[in-house]
Amino acid sequence: MIDLHCHLDLYPNVLQLLSTVAEMSTYVLFVTTSPRRWQATREVFKSYENIECAVGMHPEIVSEKYSERALLLQSISECRFIGEVGIDGSTRHKGTIDRQTEVFTDVVRESERVGGRILSIHSRNAATPILDIIEGEQVKSTYILHWFTGSMAQLSRAIDLGCLFSVGPAMLLSSKGKQLVSRIPLERILPESDGPFARLDGEPILPWEAMSIGSQVASLHSLTEQQVNEGINQNFSRLIAVADRIPLRST
Ligand code: MN
């Protein structure tokens, strides 16, 4: 069971959850909301071999956490994966869009400077600025757009730029989400839970439930569930091969 975007530290019963993750999950990409949070939680999570800790700064709280910007940029050299990062252009967060754009641009540049990283990106109501920044900088990094909600035209542009997409059960609840997923090539799809924020029937989606997208993706792509799951596993193997070549700062 693979999950490429999960806020493990935010579930109510973290320690109990971790022991189940150790049994149920092959791999969980644990994305963090601030670099201080990353520093604290990676100590707790480091004994779990199937959990990868990504340093991030959630775009919704960039202005609150702005003082941690230097720590965020410094920490990029220590991580293969970066996230959650991005821009949120929705009405509630429009006021901080300049700071969000500045921090995201810095993260993308620093990731390139240190040899390329794999970024898990939030792009709600901000697909165009996100893609503009990626297009301007992209050389070595890999970009995963998490829970993409842009237009069909923005989706095509993201596909042309080589982006990957992490898709979760919650994204497949809406008809727009289904329509987008039907247009994403299978070779670009990875599973995500986005738990505990993302919910199904009122309950936070658990990391090992991310792979349950298989049957719906199969019907949207006119494939069998087995073909989709094999495809997703191959995408994951290719991603880990990229991650294994990332040069980390030796500490
Ligand atoms: Mn998230």
Q: How far is the CA of 196 from the centre of ligand 1 (A)?
A: 9
| pLDDT at 137 (0 to 100) | 86
- Global pTM reads 0.97
Return the H-helix or E-strand segment holding 200: strand 199-200
User: Rounded mean pLDDT of 145-157?
Assistant: 98
**Would you call 134 helix, strand, or coil by DSSP?**
helix
**DSSP codes of every residue in 140-175:** S-EEEEES----HHHHHHHHHTT-EEEE-TTGGGSH
Q: How far is the CA of 179 from the centre of ligand 1 (A)?
A: 21
CB-based neighbours (< 5 A) of ligand 1, an ion: 84, 194
| pLDDT at 251 (0 to 100) | 54
Q: How far is the CA of 84 from the centre of ligand 1 (A)?
A: 6
Residue 61, judged by CB atoms within 10 A of its CB (0-12, 13-18, 19+), counts as middle
Q: How far is the CA of 197 from the centre of ligand 1 (A)?
A: 7
User: Rounded mean pLDDT of 88-95?
Assistant: 96
Closest CA to 84 of 125, 34, 127, 9: 34
Q: How far is the CA of 85 from the centre of ligand 1 (A)?
A: 9
User: Rounded mean pLDDT of 60-79?
Assistant: 97
User: Rounded mean pLDDT of 98-115?
Assistant: 97
Q: What is the pLDDT of residues 5-53, one digit of tens each?
A: 999 999 998 889 999 999 999 999 999 999 999 999 999 888 999 999 9
Q: Could you tell me the domains of the chain?
A: 2-244 (3.20.20.140)
Q: What is the pLDDT of residues 171-198, one digit of tens each?
A: 999 999 999 999 999 999 999 999 999 9
Q: How far is the CA of 55 from the centre of ligand 1 (A)?
A: 13
* pLDDT of 118 over the 80 cut: yes
Q: What is the pLDDT of residues 202-215, one digit of tens each?
A: 999 999 999 999 99
Closest CA to 158 of 110, 117, 123: 123
d(CA 30, CA 52): 6
